[in-house]
Structure 1
Amino acid sequence: MPPRRAVTGRSQEPRQRFIEELRLLRAQKGVSLRQLGEALGWDWSLFGKMEGGQTIGSPEVAQALDQYYGTKDLLLTLWELAAGDPKQFKERYRRYMTLEAEALSLWHYAVSVLPGLLQTTDYARDVLAVGGAKGKELTRQVEARTGRRELLTGEDAPPFRTILSEAVLRTPLDDANEWRKQLEHLAEAAERPNLTLQVLPHGSGPHGLVSTAVMFLRLPDGRTVAYTENAHRGELIEETSSVERLQRAYDAMRDLALSPAESRRFVMRMLEEVPCGPST
């Protein structure tokens, strides 16, 4: 069994250290990427992307590699460090933004917050402020988020489907006027020919994405990638089998959602419930 090396070894940057260990362990084992894929049951190209720094894979992959190489939980520990590193989160998100701009179609599920592509300026500001942004950084983030709305306008705008958990529409802003504007914006957006909006009612029961917000992007090269997100982190997923599992969960959940027509009526009912006049 190879001796366990300290996590604070050669590279001090979590993701780079993870890559170094992947390359070193495979070299010591004397196997090719294809042989590694055959031994573990994953597409060998995934391991090539992990060693090239394009993705860190999933914790299941890291754990399987630990078992294969006999390194206990070394790779899983390094994976957790790499996944939690704020610098790497920003790099992954920048890559996601690039792919989003190139996407031929997008489909999305919202657990508790409206997708950035459909947020008004006030809604974006409130959500980002709750997340800790303030001052000039808050202004910069709001501008960046609201600027993305242009992706869904114009003659060449890609098709976009969003499924909103009912919880999204049951969580208003403190300012009733701002909330009304957001719902009006959502209702208007739902009328666009390239946008399909559905609502998933509370009574739909449990499903495979109950705690996971996800965006799927169909890219010009035929691939589909996914970006999953919660309150603490986001992850760009490019490995085919992982994306397919998420897609199956999404398709099953979509069957539980209200139709687009019913969903538009649902949004209008929510709008009617918002108090009129100035907020108190």
Structure 2
Amino acid sequence: MPQRLVVTEMSHEPRKRFAEELRRLRTERGLTLRDLAKVVGWDPSLFGKMERGGTLGGPEVVQALDQYYGTGPLLLIVWELALADPTQFKEQYRRYMMLEAEAVSLWHYAVSAPPGLLQTDGYVREALAAGGLRGEELEQQVEARVRRRKLLEGEDAPPFRTVMSEAVLRMQLRDKRAWREQLVFLTEARPNVTPHILPFSAGLHGLTNTDTMFLRLSDGRTVAYTENDVRGELIEETERVERLQRAYDAVRDLALSPAESRSFVLRMLEEVPCEPST
């Protein structure tokens, strides 16, 4: 077998590759960061951060760079790959996210927060900030997590069923406008999303303290991902997954129907004060 040809020594990781492409294109033109800022716009410090991998920047600046360098949509394509790159997330989530992207159906139980796939921008931002993220790291994580919602969009989107504890609706955001937007988002009809609310009156059950996501894969297997405040675990052993599924089925039997659940969320929405008009 002939030796594999190494075409380039550049990284195969989308985020690093994006930074390398930016640096290569600029240096091949013999430009400094200040030179680039003068002809394209934006602050030279932004281009420096992008080339060091500190930030991805926004689509507008990436499109402007593509236009200046005459690279068509090349940089924008690499930027989109970098934005969706699962390596932006912690190690424990990476394999799970790759499997999530391949899943043909998903079902979920939420303890105290809306499922990530149904979180609005405002919810994601406040939740991550509450966890201590700030500045560029916060912006990058918001971008990455919000982008996950695309999994449920389009004609080929997988069906997704979620059972949310009433605690999800009681744990409000400090930003009341963002909280109203989140509740409204949960009431909006989507053909592939089936939401249920599990009221407190249902009592204790087998998943009381455990966020759980099940993924049905194209090969017929089902895997589960469980998460609490301190750790997450991807479960692939058939016996353990089946035990969790039985617990989930029991929880779903206790939950309100989708129509009842929507009415429940709308009643909660009435309790959130509207901001006074200005």
Is it true that 1:158 corresponds to 2:158 in the alignment? yes
Corresponding residue for 2:190? 192
CA-based RMSD of the aligned residues comes to 1.5
SS of structure 2 residue aligned to 1:255: helix
Q: Give 1:276's match in structure 2, choosing from 267, 274, 277.
A: 274
| Contiguous gaps of at least 5 residues in structure 1 | 1-86
Corresponding residue for 2:226? 228
Corresponding residue for 1:120? 120
Is it true that 1:212 corresponds to 2:207 in the alignment? no
Query: Counterparts in 2 of 1:248-259, with a 5 A limit?
Result: 248-259=246-257
TM-score after normalising by structure 1: 0.66
Residues in 2 aligned to 1:244 and 1:278: alpha-carbon distance in whole angstroms: 50
- How far off its partner does 1:193 sit? 1.3
- How far off its partner does 1:132 sit? 2.0
The one-letter code matched in structure 2 to 1:255 is D
- Structure 1 segments of 4 or more deviating over 2 A? 89-92
Residues in 1 aligned to 2:139 and 2:93: alpha-carbon distance in whole angstroms: 18
- How far off its partner does 1:271 sit? 1.1
The one-letter code matched in structure 2 to 1:242 is R
- How far off its partner does 1:157 sit? 0.6
The one-letter code matched in structure 1 to 2:101 is A
| Post-superposition CA distance 1:10-37 (Å, at most 9, x none) | xxxxxxxxxxxxxxxxxxxxxxxxxxxx
Corresponding residue for 1:181? 181
Residues in 2 aligned to 1:248 and 1:213: alpha-carbon distance in whole angstroms: 15
Percent of pairs with identical residues: 71
| Post-superposition CA distance 1:26-79 (Å, at most 9, x none) | xxxxxxxxxxxxxxxxxxxxxxxxxxxxxxxxxxxxxxxxxxxxxxxxxxxxxx
TM-score after normalising by structure 2: 0.66
Residues in 2 aligned to 1:158 and 1:215: alpha-carbon distance in whole angstroms: 14
| Post-superposition CA distance 1:212-247 (Å, at most 9, x none) | 000000001110000000111111111110111100
- How far off its partner does 1:144 sit? 0.8
1:111/1:165 contact within 8 Å kept: yes
Residues in 2 aligned to 1:125 and 1:233: alpha-carbon distance in whole angstroms: 21
SS of structure 2 residue aligned to 1:107: strand
Residues in 2 aligned to 1:278 and 1:185: alpha-carbon distance in whole angstroms: 21
- How far off its partner does 1:92 sit? 3.1
1:121/1:146 contact within 8 Å kept: yes
| Contiguous gaps of at least 5 residues in structure 2 | 1-86
Corresponding residue for 2:90? 90
Residues in 2 aligned to 1:106 and 1:224: alpha-carbon distance in whole angstroms: 9
Residues in 2 aligned to 1:278 and 1:241: alpha-carbon distance in whole angstroms: 54
The one-letter code matched in structure 2 to 1:149 is R
